[in-house]
Amino acid sequence: MTMPEVITARNLTKHYGATAAVDGLELHVRQGEFFGFLGPNGAGKTTTIRLLTGIVHPDGGDILVNGFSIEDKEQIAQAIGVVPESRGFYEWMTGAEYLYFFAKLYGISALKKVATLLEQVGLTAQQNKKVGAYSRGMRQRLGIARALINSPRILFLDEPTLGLDPQGQKDIQNLLRSLNLEGITIFYSSHLLSEVSELCSRIAILNKGKLIAEGTLDELRQRINRKDSTLTDIFLAFTQT
Amino acid sequence: MFKYIWQKEIRGQLYTWKGMVWLLVASLLLSFTSYLLLTNKELSLLDQTELLWLLSKIIIGVALLIVTIDASSIITTEFEQETAESLFLSPLSLKDFLIGKFLASFTLWLALFVVATPYMLATSAGSNLALAFMGYILLLGSLGVAGFTFFVFALSLFYRSSKNTLTTSLILLLALATPALFSSTLKTAPVIGAISKINPFDAIFSSLDNILVDYQTSLWQNWQFILPLFMFCLLTFALLIFTARLFKKQGIIKSSE
């Protein structure tokens, strides 16, 4: 059975001055997919995520997220969770207070939900510590908990394991895998290609704002005619030509 | 939803060492002024209405300065500390965001007014103008604070930087406050007189002068001063709406990745 599309971008364009950050991008992500989004530095990945989540306005093209146009800010905000590239937190709040605050913004009665999320991301023991005292890994997990506060159907993550130690990376990967098994669609941007090849069911590669390749790992291998290639080989083959 | 932003700001701004320092600074300034007014040999010889007049200038001036400085960072820190993106990814609207922030700035003004209350009571003791004096400080100060806060918020949305917002806000504050201190003789000059008519500081001080010196205490007798203040609020509010629209058009994040 073909699952419905939950993220659609048609001819998406965004310029910063004379530079095209995103250039005629076509994206189609289906419900329940673990979608990997790759690209070299400055390829336009973060801008694409910001366009798809309504933080930045496109210069041209159409976006549909969970069936809603990007203009329906409130409907989209209720359907998605985002771990953005910017990692700002209110340092003076405790972890639990931080999640309560965001729960209120979503109109959710928080107590039970916050406790469940803190347990899910492994922060129950540190919930009463100020966020300012959290390690990088704890902040990342708190960011994921915040993104899950509204029980989203789609989760956007922009480099969620950046700067984490191997154990921290593994913990987040396991958490994301279990969320995907629960039916949450995951749009995942990362530089860690081994992580992407392990987690993602479909991968898109972006370069200079354009989509240059898209498919499952096997489909991408076929395109470069190397059956035993790793995602790193594929990535380099597409981005260095 | 604005109440959650308001509550967050009260906890994050007012109930912090920074908020307490502002209140302490205001309290020390008012203590020093009141002490001088009541004990200094020459100053204590001033008529009580003149004492009230001097104190009211200090209360309004200090409050506007503190609220302007505080409001300059209340919005911009969300951008500088990269918390704005997460905030606007939630269903929070820009309108609720601005109302919450405005209420927080206004709460700081009310807290400053509460701090100033004992000094106003002590200085106006025995005068039949005490109630009018306090009531008009609250009214005129509230209009002044609202107008300046709208202006500072408009700058914050435009610059998204505390430094630029604070510098520009202080330039306007000083540019408006300085002519208000010109003597009556200077104000007869056509240019200074024209500036004086539209200057919110002048409107506040002229109204207090009207109340304390000329005993014109009804709202009707002060409408000619309240109206320019109200117009100043409307003008800065219109500027805020304009920059809010511009902000929406640009998106929450301005720069490229």
By C-alpha distance, which of A36, A85, A22, A32 is closest to A192? A36
pTM, to two decimals: 0.91
Query: How far is it, in rounded angstroms, from Cα B85 to Cα A35?
Result: 22
Per-residue pLDDT reduced to its tens digit, B214-226: 888 788 888 888 8
Nearest to B113 by CA among B73, B59, B154, B180: B59
What does the pLDDT read at residue B49? Answer: 82
Q: Given an 8 Å threshold on Cβ–Cβ distance, is A84 in contact with B86?
A: yes
Are the beta carbons of A235 and A35 closer than 8 angstroms?
no
Which residues of chain B make contact with A150, given a CB cutoff of 8 A?
Answer: 90
Say whether A86 and B8 touch across the interface (CB within 8 A): no
Distance from CA of A224 to the nearest CA of B (A): 29
Q: Which residue has the tokens 């364009």?
A: A13
Give chain A positions within 8 Å (CB) of B83.
88-90
d(CA B45, CA B75): 46
Rounded to 5 degrees, what are φ and ψ at A82? -135, 130
Instruction: Give me the mean pLDDT over the A192-208 stretch.
Output: 91
Q: Supply A213's token pair.
A: 């390749």
Asked if the structure places residue B232 within a domain, the reply is: yes
**Sequence letter at residue B158:** F
Does A240 have pLDDT greater than 80?
Answer: no
Minimal C-alpha gap between B3 and chain A (Å)? 10
Option in A19, A54, A87 nearest B256 (CB): A19
The reply to whether residue A88 touches residue B250, judged by beta carbons under 8 angstroms, is no
B204 φ, ψ (degrees, to nearest 5):
-65, -50
Q: Which chain A residue's Cα is nearest to B94?
A: A73
**The pLDDT value given to residue A241:** 63
Which DSSP state fits B129?
Answer: T
* Cα A157 to chain centroid, rounded: 2
Closest Cα of chain A to B75: distance in Å? 13
Q: Which two tokens stand for residue B213?
A: 């010196």
A–B interface: beta-carbon pairs under 8 A: 79
How many CA atoms within 13 Å lie on the side-chain side of A112? 3
Out of A96-100, B4-8, B12-16, B54-58, least confident range: B12-16
Q: Of A179, A135, A173, which is closest to residue A154 (Cα–Cα)?
A: A179
How would residue B186 be classed by pLDDT, with cut points 50, 70 and 90? low
Q: What's the average model confidence in pLDDT over A54-78? A: 91
Listing from the earlier edge strand, what are the strands of the sheet with A5-16?
Answer: A19-30, A5-16, A60-65, A68-69
- Report CA dihedral (B161, B162, B168, B174) to the nearest 10 degrees: 180
CB contact under 8 A, B84 and A21: no
Using 50, 70 and 90 to split pLDDT, how confident is the model at B184?
A: low
Beta bridge partners of A7: A29, A65
Using CB atoms, which residue from B83, B93, B253 is nearest to A50? Answer: B253
Residue range A5-84+152-239, CATH number: 3.40.50.300
Widest pairwise Cα distance in chain A: 54
Averaged pLDDT, B175-189: 71
How many domains in chain B? 1
Residues 38-57 on A with a CB inside 8 Å of B are: 42, 44-47, 50, 53-57
Report which of A93, A53, A94 is spatially closest to residue A72, judged by C-alpha positions.
Answer: A53
pLDDT at B209: 83
Classify residue A168 as exposed, middle or buried by CB count within 10 Å of its CB (0-12, 13-18, 19+): middle
Q: Quick one: pLDDT at residue A169?
A: 86
Tell me the pLDDT band of B255, cut-offs 50, 70 and 90: low
Which residue of B4, B87, B256 to mutate against A (max A Cβ within 10 Å)? B256
The pLDDT of residue B34 is 84
- Determine the pLDDT at residue B185: 66
Label each residue of chain A as H, E or C.
CCCCEEEEEEEEEEEECCEEEEEEEEEEEECCCEEEEECCCCCCHHHHHHHHCCCCCCCEEEEEECCEECCCHHHHHHHEEEECCCCCCCCCCEHHHHHHHHHHHCCCCHHHHHHHHHHHCCCHHHCCCEHHHCCHHHHHHHHHHHHCCCCCCEEEEECCCCCCCHHHHHHHHHHHHHHHHCCCEEEEECCCHHHHHHHCCEEEEEECCEEEEEECHHHHHHHCCCCCCCHHHHHHHHHCC
Residues B176-198: what's their mean pLDDT? Answer: 72
Place of tokens 């390829």: A43
Residue B139: inside a domain: yes
Q: What would the pLDDT profile of B112-161 be if each residue is shown by its tens digit?
A: 999 999 988 888 888 888 888 899 999 999 999 999 999 999 999 999 99
- Domain extents in chain A: 5-84+152-239
- Domain span at residue B243? 2-250
Residue carrying the six token digits 């419900």: A31
Residue B15 has pLDDT above 90, yes or no: no
Question: Which residues from chain A sit within 8 angstroms of residue B86, using beta carbons?
Answer: 82, 84, 86, 88, 102, 143, 146
Helix (H, G, I), strand (E, B) or coil at B216: coil
Q: How confident is the model at residue B181 (pLDDT cuts 50, 70, 90)?
A: low
pLDDT value at residue A134: 93
B86 and A16 within 8 Å at the Cβ level: the answer is no
Does residue B257 fall inside a structural domain?
A: no
- The verdict on A189 touching B (C-beta cutoff 8 Å) is no
Residue of B89, B92, B99 for testing the chain A interface, max A β-carbons within 10 Å: B89
| pLDDT-derived band at B257, boundaries 50, 70, 90 | very low
Residue B237 has pLDDT above 50, yes or no: yes
Is B56 a domain residue? yes
Longest CA–CA separation in chain B, Å: 66
Cβ–Cβ under 8 Å, residues B83 and B12? no
In chain A, which residues have their Cβ closer than 8 Å to the Cβ of B88? 55
Residue B255 lies in a domain: no
**pLDDT at residue B18 is higher than 60:** yes
Q: Which range is least confidently modeled, A120-124, B38-42, B53-57, B59-63?
A: B38-42
